[in-house]
Amino acid sequence: MKSPLLPCSAIALLLAIAAPAARADETLARQRNCMACHTVERKVVGPAFKAVAAKYAGQKGMADVLARKIRQGGGGVWGPVPMPANPQVSEADAKQLAGWILGLPH
């Protein structure tokens, strides 16, 4: 009988590597004040990040579109309250945030 220890160890290692990245991106979202209007799980002023991930799942080029929306703002997609522009968020941070949001399970 083969030991399940090696596959379990590999899974644990992958989860340990992925978890800090997810926390780091949520930390970045907090640092860039995204959490003033959004949460991961539920709508506040803006949509839940998981709802954004679900809406745009599988659509090519959405990371760039979302990164641009983070920096430039916009409206009409999620209700009457427009997303304000966030020019203080660097392009690199906006891309990292967009990738994190779109990668959330939904």
Binding site for heme c, by residue number, is 34, 38, 83
Q: How far apart are CA 34 and CA 66, in angstroms?
A: 13
Annotated binding site: 34, 38, 83
Q: How far apart are CA 81 and CA 97, in angstroms?
A: 21
Q: How far apart are CA 89 and CA 30, in angstroms?
A: 12
87: burial class by Cβ within 10 Å (0-12, 13-18, 19+)?
exposed
Residue 51: DSSP 8-state? H
Contacts of 10 (CB under 8 A, 6+ apart): none
